[in-house]
A and B are shown apart, each in its own frame.
Chain A
Amino acid sequence: MRSSLGVFIRWVLRDLTYRTVYAATIELDNGDGTVDVRGTDGALKGRPFRHVPLRTGTAGCSARLAPGARCLLGFYDATPRKPYVAGWLFDAGSATVLLDRGKASLARKGDSVKVLVSDGVAVTGIIGGQVLVPGAPPTVVPVPPVPFAGVLTGFTISPLKPRGVIIGGARRVKA
């Protein structure tokens, strides 16, 4: 009697199954903000769910997921027809995070930079060559290599392929 009453109460409260979250694994990212997942734990172990919307804990963030990424599967309104995935375990390489729907990769300290140089760059080094002094006839005056420090304005420099490297960055945000 006591046992059957317990079973009855459990039956009455059967929607409790959908009031919690379960471990699950991503099987496919559909590319439309939904994923196919399979429950790996508890009452949902082995059960597949298709086109489950992705939820992130941070507004403005989304992600593209690799198969095998581990998450939690839950249900809106405790209804099995309203599943969602959230709550990610960290796995390196399991996701590409998109901030503000951005498509450009964030730069990091040490990344290379293409430098676009304009007039007025201050440089220090050694300069040498020749000067063509106007006259009749013009005179070529050699300029031996001499130390130089200043700003080159109106000169053409080639090949102009300086290399830039980012040497600063956020203290606590790394990628």
Chain B
Amino acid sequence: MTNTPQISSTSARDDLRTEPRFIRGLVIAMAVIFLTVFVVLPLVVVFAQAFSKGVGAYFAALSDPEALSAIRLTLMVAVISVGLNLVFGLVAAWAIAKFDFRGKTFLISLIDLPFSVSPVISGLVFVLLFGAQGFWGPWLQSHDVHVLFAVPGIALATIFVTFPFVARALIPLMQEQGTQEEEAAISLGASGLQTFFRVTLPNIKWGVLYGVLLCNARAMGEFGAVSVVSGHIRGETNTMPLLVEILYNEYQFVSSFAIASLLAMLALITLVAKTILERHLDEGPSPSGD
């Protein structure tokens, strides 16, 4: 007798806490179906198409000189843009998070600009600046410097598009950490560089890796901005995403999807690395092994 009201009260509390079983099932099923159709299926299709003519055809497609050149160019552009954006991003985040100055808000909006501008427009800006009819075009031509339709142009467009990633990952982190540890280091006699390398950088290393990872993924995958400035010179200025499109338009599905599969693998690796890094960021920089 005494048990009955207790049981009914706990089940009533359960009802308040969670939705009925069939609604839970429905919502979970919807999420799973959505992810399958829009994420898992396309990934499977990419790999299925890439291997549709066998493993031999897959590796033949990847070792094609045009494909190798695209891979090399993509890696080079990624190294350049990630490297430079690492430096820019660190400097910008350091300035914004640790110092007060006029125009700080303006600088923050400038950093966000590449996110709000369509990549095609970003590419066009560089055409307008460096193109034959562009602002610096005639001067560049007379000095025989090739920016557009060459590696520098592609690198510039990629740097522009991927600029916010490192800075954006670091600004909130550095703001949250404040300036007290730096002040402590300076009052203990550390120089500016010692303070940066011994105190600031170790505290933000996971944030830096996180920013670099996202920056790299975007740099390798960028299509729009690069497409405008590249000129699509085969074997010279095609990056992997550009080559995927060209091969696809030429009905070379195996080659196209083989290269696409490389980009898909990059995405998967990025995803795993991102999950690991996020765990470190949540934990904070101090190891808690005792």
Q: Do A and B bind each other?
A: no
Residues of chain B at the chain A interface (Cβ within 8 Å):
none
